[in-house]
Amino acid sequence: MEKQVALITGASRGIGRGIAEKLAENEFNVVIDDIVDPSQAEETLQAIKEKGADTFYVQADISNPEQRKSLVEQIKARFGRLDLLVNNAGVAPKQRLDILEATEDSFDRVLTINLKGPYFLTQLVANWMIEQKKQHPERTPKVVNISSISAFTSSPSRGEYCVSKAGVSMMTALFADRLAEYGICVYEVRPGIIYTDMTTPVKAKYDNLIANGLTPIKRWGTPEDIARAVLAFATDLLPFSTGEIINVDGGFHLRRL
């Protein structure tokens, strides 16, 4: 049987790499997208190949319309199909500033990369998925958006990031609603405090917060935790659900007394 194909954005490292490797382990071919130089993605590509998957890297900025189109065209040329889009790429503000002092430039940058880019990449991919579904009704294409606990948690020193992730949550609902008639399900995974090279600088701070009860499950999350949630969606374990959210946050989202 021809393998399914997954596209993961922002996948050269961290959470994206974890998702890519998990999908490769489970009979997906994988397309890695990121903005880094191809040499910086080589280790990830090799790890995926060792799991038996066909893979290639596309250096594309999803906030750029032409690069989004090129990304999809390259997947069409290489595989001729796309079964899963994982919108993982995102950035934090370059500088944390109080919401009373934050700049429009920072707001525009974060919203363009974290929300506008995934929104229009999903639009582009969804239209191709609809075409594929008409030709191959047995296929079950899907979209998974990686948001954050910041979608519902106030952080006034990085308001633009919170707004972008709240937008991703609404985007999930909108595309889930619109694409259901075509048999295309859309989901959201909400990571909490996840240990990656990007969070290493704040490790001491969050070690202390976790030890003092910030999350009921007293440990850091890992890319593996996120990848398992994505895999559940990707492998049709929830076929009668769409617009669904899995919180992968150690219970952070619980309201506790």
Assess whether 161 carries a catalytic annotation.
yes
Distance separating alpha carbons of residues 114 and 220, to the nearest angstrom: 23
DSSP-derived 3-state class of residue 49? helix
User: What residue type is assigned to position 245 of the chain?
Assistant: I
The closest alpha carbon to 22, from 58, 54, 47, belongs to 47
DSSP-derived 3-state class of residue 33? strand
Q: What is the dihedral of CA 190, 89, 62, 34, to 10 degrees?
A: -150
The DSSP output letter for 113 is I
Catalytic residue among 57, 161, 182, 187: 161
Q: What is the dihedral of CA 24, 25, 28, 31, to 10 degrees?
A: -10
DSSP-derived 3-state class of residue 91? coil
Residues annotated as catalytic are 161
